[in-house]
Structure 1
Amino acid sequence: MATELRFDRWYLPLAAAVGLGPKSTELWVEGGTLHVKMGWAFTADIPVTSIKTAEPSNERVFTAGVHVMGSRWLVNGSRKGLVQLTLDPPVPAKVWYKAITLKVLLLSVTDPDALIAACTAAAR
């Protein structure tokens, strides 16, 4: 999969300073699992069989980093390139070293189509 978490230029210095920058992030699909990490703040290993939908999102977000929005989690460094993953069954994840149950994940990525294709192809 040729994509990674996307970062806006204004957010890069802040993200790097607090350990959430590009060098501290990971995003890949391997062995039927989507691995997502944003520094110390978020880690999830999502079986692609749990990804019921992977679709582009035009949602307007005004934050960057790791945030909860109701029952959904936002992991982003940009307001652009958003992809929403709906998970069923929900999967465990860690946020700020706390265990959570992840149902919906919104990610900002450099190539949304590549992430969507990787998630849907691996689930077949």
Structure 2
Amino acid sequence: MSTFALSYENWFRPIAVCCGMGPARSGAEIVGEVLKVRMGWAFRAGIPLSSIAAARADSGPVSGWGVHGFGGRWLVNGSARGLVVLRVEPRCRVTAALVPVRLRELRLSLERPEEFLVALDRPV
């Protein structure tokens, strides 16, 4: 089992904690053949590792902090640093803002993105 903390901007951390999405309730974890991702009550996913078609570091801009998405593309972040993007095929069902949705792409902000990609067996 490998566990990875989400990264948080110092200014956003207290807001996330007050909203139930802080570091104690968030993270990514590889358990057996499943990647589990959560950000408090706002996002929960169990993605089969076999469904992760691609994973890479991401330096693209972010337009918000927290949980945002539409059309199968979701951003789960507490920071604009340490981003990775996962392409999921076939799409899998996850819960975003307590609503079931289909996930095809997930962007995450992580404290150790390089180690995460290595753990997924996707070199940086």
Q: TM-score, normalised by structure 1?
A: 0.92
Q: 1:94 to 1:27 in 2, by over 3 A?
A: same
Closer, same or farther: CA 2–96 of 1 in aligned 2, 3 Å: closer
Structure 1 unmatched ranges of 5 or more: none
**1:18 paired to 2:26:** no
Q: CA RMSD in A?
A: 1.3
Per the TM alignment, residue 3 of structure 1 is displaced from its structure 2 partner at its CA by 2.6
Contact 2:72 2:101 in 1 (8 A): no
Measured in 2, the distance between the counterparts of 1:48 and 1:107 equals 16
**CA separation of 1:75/1:17 partners in 2, compared to 1, >3 Å: closer, same or farther?**
same
Identity within the alignment, %: 36
What amino acid is aligned across from residue 41 of structure 2 in structure 1? W
Partner of 1:108: 109
Q: What corresponds to 1:50 in structure 2?
A: 51
How many Å separate the matches in 2 of 1:56 and 1:32? 21
* Pair 27,2 (structure 1): closer, same or farther in 2 beyond 3 Å: closer
> Which position in structure 2 is the counterpart of 1:64?
65
Gapped runs of 5+ residues in structure 2?
none
Whose helix proportion is higher, 1 or 2? 1
